[in-house]
Every structure is written in structure tokens, then in C-alpha cells.
Amino acid sequence: MAPSKPLLTFCYAVLLFFSPLVSHAASEYEDEIISSIEDIEKAEISNSITSITEIVKKYPNSKLGHLMLGDLLAARVGSSELIKQFSQDGKQLTGLRDEIRQRWGHVRTPTPPTSGLIPSSIIQTAPDQEFVLVVDASRARLYVYKAANDNYEYVDSYYMTIGKGGMDKRKEGDTKTPIGVYFVTAYLPGKTLPPRYGPGAFPINYPNELDKVHRKTGYGIWIHGTEPENYNRIPLASDGCVSLSNDEFIDIKKYIKTDGSTPVIIAENFSWADSQTIAENRNEFNTILNKWKDDWESMDLERYLSNYSNQDFDNGQHDYKSWANHKTRVNSGKQFIQVNITDLSIFSYPAETEIVAVRFKQEYESDTYRSVSFKKQYWSKNADGKWKIIFES
């Protein structure tokens, strides 16, 4: 029996755009949904109705499962408009169909992670950064990468939802998800939160230092679960946060530290690179940082300040001129300066490919002062192709 028109409306037309199935680690729920869609592709409607019925029984709060079952049953009676007639929320209906496309496309097409590629935003991680979370809005996926012997291995991925307003948060209340490099700062158990956050939440440090320099506002951007009456949310449904199903939120906890070390890189789209390119990027930027260190140790103030942007430097306390004056006062009279850099992490900013975020442990010593601190820098490539520091704390 061939699929009828409502089925084509809901997913069969989507199937025609995708290449053969590739193996990929997915959740049990996603596996079951995809298996049912494959039955539809094979025109095995009875099997699909049976499997979707089981999904609805197993996951009674899966709106996606209920929609698929409704479409299949509507197909059986030959009504192409039945679901639209009885749906009071056209946006929700469209969102659920978009979710089907996102999940199906993820499984049916070779993605950059399954092809062995790495987000080019990952340049170097510190020893305590075992995992990196990569939020790709274009694919509605949260990817997990693991640091391994100066390389990065793809571990897993999760379907996720972003803000109703889309991407690039700029002000409080715009319901957009920020773009940038962030870090998980805490864990909030679900029992302390409203039900819409599910079993818990991981806050990230939005707005970060660069966001504040760019006068971006807002707060409370989290990775969290979903309300108990829903299995998950449609692709654009949060107030700016990254939302997972509750099962997958619990699963992802094993990859996250809450001490500010776990990176979360968020973008609308990523550029992807092979491991050799990542290594080349790492070597390039280590060379740049070592030059900054050598220039500082040289006691030549002009050399040292040449690493800073005389137009764009702003750390909230100093612009370039006041920073130069500050460093002139600090360095005057010193006999030597020695700087040691450890625990270095380097991430290319996904929204602005010519900005790099750097964090490291700095051991500083001179004849008059010693200190150990953690430093943050943002470097930007200017018009003549040279990298300059635009923020330092």
C-alpha cells in the first residue's frame, strides 16, 4: 500500500532529499522515531502505525509521536487536512514537522562530526577540559567532543532547542540564544527550579567579557531540560536557552564540570576542519602568544604594547591609552620580568572568525613582585592581517 497525501505532507517528501543511512549514535527515542519513518519510506504503513503506537505508549508526552500517529491514521481515512483542521496551534504543528526534518536529516546525511571533522573553533584545550560542547543551531544538535592526544574525537550528539527569537542574543528579553564561547559555571537541581526546566540546569557565563564590551545585555542563559508534560521542545521554543529532553539532559551531565572549565561553543553555523588544520591553527596561535610573552619579558614597552589594538582595546577599566599609561607606571624601575604560561585554552569565536578567546594560568615574577593568576584575552585580526589584543583581564 503506497503512502497517501497527508503522509507526503508530513514527512515522505522530506525523505527524498536525503542520502543513504549512515550509522550514528543516537538516543533510543530518536532511533525508534527514525525506524518508524523508515517504515513509511518503504510504504509499510501498518508497521509504522504499530511502531508509532508503541512510541506513544512508551513516551506519552511525545508530541512528535502523537503528530506522526495522527498523520498516519488520517492517511488511512484519506483526509489530507485532518490534522490541520483539529490543530489549534499552527506554529506548534510547523515546529513538530521541522523537528522531524531535523532528526531525519541528522541520521540520513553524513554530518561533519561523523565524517571525522572538528569545529574549527576548537584550537586548544587545557588539561582540565576533557570535553567540549558544541551547539550547532543550523542542525539543532549539541555535539560533544573529547580531547585526546592533541586531537579531538567526536563522542555523541543530542537534538536540542534554541530560543524563539533565533540566534545572536543582544539584549534582555529578545528570546535569542547567544553566539560565542562560554563556560559552564554551576549546576542547578530541578527541585530548586520551576517545572519547565525539567531535572536541572547548567548556567553558562553569558554575558561574557566580550559581550559586555559590546554592550550586550540579558542573563540566565542555561542548558536545561524541559517541562514534564513534553518529551522535548520543537526547534525554536526556549527563551534563549539550550533545551534538551530530560533523558538526554541527565545523560549529558557526565560530560560537564561546574567549575567554569567546560567550554560551550554556540553558533548558528560552524566551519569544520580536519585534525591537521586544527594542529596548524594551534601552532600559529601558540607562536603569537609566545611572541606576546617574549615582548613583555623584553622590558621593551613599545614591543609589548604593539600586541594591543590602539583602536579597539577595552577591558572595562582601560582603553588603549590608559592601559599604556598603566603599564608604563607598573614596569618602570623593574630589573627583570619572567612570565610562565600553563593550562592554555584557545577557541576561535564562531560569530566572528577573526576573534580568538584565550585563557591560561599565568605565573608572573619580577624583582619587585610575584603572582599567580588566571588570565583571559580576546585577540582580533585587524585589517592588515595582524593579531591584536582587544580585551585582557
Q: How many CB atoms lie within 10 A of CB 147?
A: 19
Domain end among 90, 108, 126: 108
Mean pLDDT for the stretch of residues 116-142: 96
Same domain, 257 and 302: no
Q: How many CB atoms lie within 10 A of CB 17?
A: 11
Residue 75: which domain range?
Answer: 5-108
SS3 content of the chain, % helix, strand, coil (to 5): 35, 25, 35
Q: What band does 68 get if pLDDT is binned at 50, 70 and 90?
A: confident
Q: What band does 236 get if pLDDT is binned at 50, 70 and 90?
A: confident
Place of cell 607606571: 329
Mean pLDDT for the stretch of residues 250-259: 96
pLDDT of residue 78: 58
Same domain, 151 and 253: yes
Same domain, 180 and 103: no
Residue 157: CATH number of its domain = 2.40.440.10
**Contact 232/244 with Cβ under 8 angstroms?**
yes
Among 41-45, 111-115, 164-168, 312-316, name the one with the lowest average pLDDT. 41-45
Higher pLDDT, 85 or 127: 127
Q: Is the pLDDT of residue 153 over 70?
A: yes
Mean pLDDT for the stretch of residues 244-263: 95
pLDDT of residue 16: 33
Domain end among 272, 304, 334: 272
* Whether this model's pTM surpasses 0.75: yes
Same domain, 146 and 267: yes
Same domain, 297 and 207: no
Same domain, 70 and 23: yes
Cell of 113: 562530526
Among 26-35, 88-97, 165-174, 306-315, name the one with the lowest average pLDDT. 88-97
Same domain, 92 and 233: no
pLDDT tens digit string along 265-294? 999 999 999 999 999 999 999 999 999 999
